[in-house]
Structure 1
Amino acid sequence: MFFDRSRFPDKFTFGAATAAYQIEGNAKGNAGQNHWDTFAATPGNVVGAQNGARACDHYTFWQQDLDLMQAAGFDAYRFSTSWPRVQPDGRGAVNPEGLDFYDRLVDGVLDRGMDPYVTLYHWDLPLPLADKGGWCNRDTCAHFADYAEIIMDRIGDRVASTATVNEPWCISYLSHFLGQHAPGLRDIRATARSMHHILLAHGMAMSRLRQTGHDGLGLVLNFEPAQPADESEASARAAATQHAIYNRWFIEAVTRGKYPEEALLGLEPHLPQHWQDDMEIISQPLDFVGVNYYTRSLYEPAAEPAWPGTRSKQGPLKKTQMGWEVYPQGLEDILLWLSAEYVGDLPLYVTENGIALADRLEDGKIHDTERCAYITEHLQATANALSLGANIKGFFYWSLLDNFEWAHGYDKRFGLVHVDFKTLRRVPKFSYYMLQKALTNG
């Protein structure tokens, strides 16, 4: 036994998380295209030129996947709805097949004794909106609020929790400055505008949903401790700059109504005019904050002077299949930092935490003991933060299934359940059975 549920409060929620484009596939049900389809069709963007058209075909096999969750003893299922599946043009006409699918899915979760935790946007921007500038265009924010209302009018009476967006840093900085995700830009003006507009979209959706009587509303942010690569003052400055960009920008906007000065130093000249006027709607009260955590980063000065003037460096600890350093202490540190500096007693959820490994079937089984250790270490970090006063209400493993891992294609496997991407056969891994034993007292 690697993990013991008794370490956590009785009402602590254990779940697993997925995202629509990564598991559903979008070739069925009259779903529209999204900007990942064209990003993946561009040579060099995605490993093997792979895409999410088929993915795990969760659109077909959703009942089997929910049965696996129920059998594991999970309390909740965190999933996302696909904007282009529900609104293929990103505005206007609704695809009834899309809404019907999520209606069935929510009922299926409830029928199995679990709570549905929905995320409204997990990176699949409808292609017609991408053609109009995507998150660089302020109009996209208003369209998102319309979409949020459409979804919640259909399933909002039955979901336990609603997150507006998942990981705005990835939606904006990773995708518009580093160019690693769709739309694959490397432009500081696009970065600043998308970093602001994704928060404005969150705020506009929150306002709309509050007006229509919904609660249990929040958003999900990703965090990485940004630490100096050495003891020099220059590395300390580099770490502080990246800490402001990665960790502070979004949480300070939604809890304090402002952006950190260290990040504004480079981004403010490129923000939309009168951006300050949007901070009130961005910083309206939340019901929870979701925390996605995988690793830490070490920073030192970059050789070139262009802002932000930093570069990352590998730490000395063991690495995952993604090349990410395994650093459980960082999760405890982030949870305590958020509690002390930003959210107080506001509920926190660990909404994603997981490890990619080069899993291989051997005699029909996957002995992923390294994943078992990773889960146990990060649950221990969560328990430590709980014991020190952080108001943590749940932990969701990423991910239930091996899936389409964005620019990494199908090579990187995070799942508790192995997926053969030729046959779509599901095989639970040893980590799945570890959690099953703990969660069901089996």
Structure 2
Amino acid sequence: MGFSKNFVWGAATAAYQVEGAASIDGRGLSVWDIYGATPGKVLHGHTGQRACNHYERYKGDVGLMKEIGLQAYRFSVSWPRVLPEGVGSVNDKGLDFYDRLVDELLHHGIEPYITLFHWDFPYELYKKGGWLNRDSANWFADYSAVVVNRLSDRVKNWITLNEPPVFINLGHKTGKHAPGLQLPLQEVLQAAHHAMLGHGKAVQAIRHNAKLQVQVGYAPNTQVPIPNTDSLEDIEAARFKMFEIQTKQDTNLASLFVDPVVLGDYPQSAYEVFGSDMPAMLSDDLKTICQPLDFIGFNIYHGARYKKGDGAKPERVAFKEGHMETSMGWPVTPEALYWGPKFIVDRYKLPLYITENGMANTEWPNLDGQIYDHQRIDFLSRYLGQLKRLAEEGADLRGYFCWSLMDNYEWSHGYAERFGLIYVDYETEERTVKQSGLWYKRVIETNGEIAGS
């Protein structure tokens, strides 16, 4: 059995992390341009000004995608590259780049999956309040309409927002990501509400402007509570931990960002725990947010074990000393790619893509010029084996996108962490397909049969 015959195998990137060309062809500033240029915010003072220069090297990069055998490429459009002020005048040179990229992908038989927002919020709109300004929902919808009008004669698959739990919490609560704010709880929740309102209006804009029949989705992320045993009590404890808000610190739970989008309301536990800090909203907001979706994407990297504790609260089970970790310090927990998707499909009843999954490592070319990243192969095989287990149980899984296609600018970590199937020499811009990229080619050729073994 295994994965369905129509299962889609791809890889993913984000505009600010790979494109570079930050100051050419009329691109405007994003919050990440400003944040990265602020001393002390990003490791070693790295910025995305150059990144992987995918903007100029996209043809070669698409050629490498073809070499690996990718069936799909998930990438994001840079909002300030298309609309330098965030609204108003369209930058044709910026939009032309995505025209060329889409054509190149299709020429090589690679299906484009476009994400409209992957964190590079236009700086000019940030100065007007950013996601705290209710108008941000309309700004995002208008931008979405511009992109869809240009590209939807060829692009069928659209994703609105990438990882709102991250860009809201790290960008607006802890300040560890752009725009670097540390807001009180009510304002954090208000920004989240406006982002989801923008999602709903963008879905409407996509469907209204699309020239082809489109598939529209949404790509949040989650850390997965993994049952410590297969007992019903531990499984329900993990499920409870994943979706039920227990304290005012639980502002990154998937349910807070997905229940309104898919189920039409915030979870009851949000009203109970957040109380008067819940966002202000108009009477039809939740109806606008809850637009029909064709699929949901989830970005899943790791989890933690939970068991039934005393009373109603799940109890976290500590990792053993010396447990496996990636170079980011993230635990290696393959079961996260079984239990996370299982809980998600059970709750939301939508076809599911894994829109990101992968590992950071520290690697370099060997003396023979090859990159033997066997740990990444082992990581991906373990995780995909767990996803295959769920597929064999009949879950509606539509595809998997490895994060990431190539090494890139890893936000506040700068260029220190490498997630790619392709190695990038940031000085020369030379690319080398890693052993994991060659292994992933075999995964695709066998429709995942070699995973988990």
User: With structure 2 as the length reference, what TM-score do the two structures score?
Assistant: 0.88
The counterpart of 1:263, out of the listed 262, 270, 273, is: 270
**Counterpart Cα distance in 2 of 1:57 and 1:350:** 26
Distance 2:49 2:317 in 1: 35
User: Where in structure 2 are the equivalents of 1:251-290 lying within 5 Å?
Assistant: 251-275=258-282, 277-290=284-297
1:332 maps to 2:338: yes
Pick from 374, 391, 399: which aligns with 1:394? 399
The one-character-per-residue Cα deviations of 1:191-242 (angstroms, maximum 9, x if unpaired) are 111111110000011112222345201111101124699x9xxx99987537
String of CA shifts for 1:7-49, please: whole Å, max 9, x gaps: 4222111000000000001233221110011111222211011
1:225 is matched with 224
- In structure 2, give the amino acid aligned to 1:219: Y
Instruction: Select between 203-212 and 82-91 the one with higher mean Cα deviation.
Output: 203-212
Residue equivalent to 1:202: 199
Matched, 1:423 2:428: yes
Structure 2 distance, partners of 1:266, 1:37, is 36
Partner of 1:59: 55
> Runs (4+) of structure 1 moved beyond 6 Å?
235-239, 310-314
SS at match of 1:165: strand
Distance in 2 between the 1:115 and 1:201 partners? 26
Cα gap change, 1:246/1:39 in structure 2, threshold over 3 Å: closer, same or farther? same
Matching residue within 362, 365, 369 for 1:361: 365
Instruction: Answer yes or no: is 1:141 the counterpart of 2:137.
Output: yes
Cα distance in 2, alignment partners of residues 299 and 197 from structure 1: 32
Question: Which residue does 1:96 correspond to in 2?
Answer: 92
Paired residue secondary structure (1:44): coil
CA shift in 2, pair 1:149/1:361, >3 Å: same
Q: 2:369 aligned with 1:350, yes or no? A: no
Code of the residue aligned with 2:325 in structure 1: it is: K
Q: Distance in 1 between matches of 2:53 and 2:394?
A: 41
Name 2:375's counterpart in structure 1.
370
How large is the Cα RMSD of the aligned pairs?
2.7
1:106 aligns with 2:122: no
1:154 positional shift: 0.5
Q: Distance in 1 between matches of 2:413 and 2:315?
A: 22
Partner of residue 167, structure 1: 163
Q: Secondary structure at the match of 1:223?
A: coil
Q: CA, structure 1 residues 103+56, in 2 after alignment: closer, same or farther (shift >3 Å)?
A: same
Equivalent position amino acid for 1:195 in 2: A
Q: How far 1:314 moved relative to its partner?
A: 6.8
- Contact 2:338–2:386, Cα closer than 8 Å, also in 1: yes
Aligned-partner residue type, residue 225 of structure 1: V
220-229 or 147-156: which moved more? 220-229
Secondary structure of the structure 1 residue equivalent to 2:221: strand
Q: Tell whether 2:328 aligns with 1:322.
A: yes
Q: 1:116 to 1:228 in 2, by over 3 A?
A: closer
What SS class does the counterpart of residue 174 from structure 2 fall into? coil
The CA deviation at 1:75 is: 0.5
Listed as ranges, the gaps of 5+ residues in structure 2 are 308-313, 447-453
Q: C-alpha displacement at 1:275, in angstroms?
A: 4.6
Distance in 2 (CA, whole Å) between partners of 1:225 and 1:12 is: 23
Count of aligned pairs between the two proteins: 424
1:162 to partner: Cα distance:
0.2
Q: Can you list the C-alpha shifts for 1:111-166, whole angstroms capped at 9, x where unaligned?
A: 00110100000000000011111111111110110000000100011113100110
